[in-house]
Structure 1
Amino acid sequence: MHARFEPLPAPTRSQEAHDTAQALREHPDQWAHIETLGNLNRATNLAYRIRTGRHSAFRPAGAFDATARLADDGTANVYACHISANERDS
């Protein structure tokens, strides 16, 4: 074991998630398929993280809606949309 002193690397984020969130912002109130995952539990968890803003790309909380749907092959699809300010205020 050895000590090598060097600057700490910058934290990285998933650019793909940020790009997806930006695309949704550019098309408010339109649903889009954003991900296919191996099972409904994982897809539901991601949808929850998007809705609540726990996924940093989809903040502030409440700015996005998301849902998961089971596919015929057993995988699950995640759909999301950016909620326009007019819709959030009503």
Structure 2
Amino acid sequence: MHALFKPLPAPTRSQEAHDTAQALRERPGEWAHIEDLGNLNRATNLAYRIRTGRHSAFRPAGAFDATARLADDGTASVYACFNGAARR
């Protein structure tokens, strides 16, 4: 084992998700735009993963609500809010 001192790497997308979840927790009940994706299928999938807690940053399941909205150009946006409730 050895110590190699160097700067930390830039935050990963996972860290970005945790930062987003924390920002939502700080403003419960308020909807926020959180992501733009290439199509409605990908956006719907992400919204589902957020609602069900399958995305680890948004656990426990049911604590967040999320939805996808289609744009005129075929891309889609994901919106989410923290509601504080958890499914049991």
Q: Same fold (TM over 0.5)?
A: yes
Matches within 5 A, 1:56-67: 56-67=56-67
CA deviations over 1:16-56 (Å, ceiling 9, x no partner): 00000000000000000000000000000000000000000
Measure, in 2, the Cα distance between the counterparts of 1:28 and 1:72: 29
Identity over aligned pairs, percent = 88
Measure, in 2, the Cα distance between the counterparts of 1:23 and 1:56: 15
| TM-score, normalised with respect to structure 2 | 0.81
Letter in 2 for 1:32: A
CA offset at residue 72 of structure 1?
A: 1.0
Measure, in 1, the Cα distance between the counterparts of 2:75 and 2:27: 26
| TM-score, normalised with respect to structure 1 | 0.79
- 5+ unaligned residues in a row in structure 2: which ranges? 1-11
- 5+ unaligned residues in a row in structure 1: which ranges? 1-11
Which stretches of structure 1, 4 residues or longer, exceed 6 Å deviation after superposition?
Answer: none
Measure, in 1, the Cα distance between the counterparts of 2:67 and 2:60: 17
CA offset at residue 84 of structure 1?
A: 3.3
Letter in 1 for 2:69: R
Count, aligned residues: 75
Measure, in 2, the Cα distance between the counterparts of 1:42 and 1:27: 26
Measure, in 2, the Cα distance between the counterparts of 1:53 and 1:78: 15
Query: 2:19 maps to which residue?
Result: 19
How large is the RMSD of aligned CA atoms in angstroms?
1.4
1:14 aligned counterpart, secondary structure: helix
